[in-house]
Amino acid sequence: MIMITKPTIEILKNFCSINKSLVIKPGNRLSTLSINKNILVYADVEEQFDSEMSIYDLSTFLGGLSLFEKPSIDTSKNNYVTVSDAAGRSKTRFFYADPDIITQPPAKEISLPSVDVSFNIDANTLQQLQRAASVYQLPDLCLYGDGEVMNLTVTDKKNDTSNSYSVEVGNTDAEFCYCFRVENLKLLPGAYDVSISKTNVALFQGNGIKYFIALEPNT
């Protein structure tokens, strides 16, 4: 029996916002890839999973876990997982899907091909940027370098008269613009070390979790 901790449930909820399906591999690392293959996440968890679990409807699986205060899983069967409470008095079964129909991360973990810009973002700043994007209904988060400072700005890059909200995040001697779609920044709350590659991909590295997120073309 493997007890599923609350931090792991929060990670699974986050994964559900990226891909509704998930294949859990043996070990203590979870990973998911969005259907559009523009968001890839790796997370280290406390649990040590002993067999593969192919979950087509992750939201329903999480609903099943929520039926128990301290859910534990039994993966001894090949075609389903049993979820029960700590005392084992109540339980539910959840049947696996065919893993071949689920979009999965590549077998080998990826890394950034280059690091061309890097900065740190604290939890409060990230929250404020996301809040500003929601308040103004803005689609883009852009990192601008003007040769002196770097600013993270929520804006609409296709509208020169767009409302915006900016936060200074560091110094630079270069000029650049890297943009994300706000809808792709499905990050757990927290602080992140951010590295950006000119190949249009960025790494957000937090406490035990890594998000690889594609950037938008500068058009």
What digits encode the pLDDT tens for the residues 155-195? 999 998 999 999 999 999 999 999 999 999 999 999 999 99
Q: CA 126 to CA 129: how far, in whole Å?
A: 5
Token pair for residue 56? 């087509």
Rounded to two decimals, the pTM is 0.94
What digits encode the pLDDT tens for the residues 17-76? 999 999 999 999 999 999 999 999 999 999 999 999 999 999 999 999 999 989 999 999
Q: CA 188 to CA 39: how far, in whole Å?
A: 13
Token pair for residue 146? 């003007």
Q: CA 26 to CA 58: how far, in whole Å?
A: 17
Chain centroid to Cα 209, Å, comes to 8
> Which of 4, 14, 60, 206 has the alpha carbon at shortest distance from 120?
206
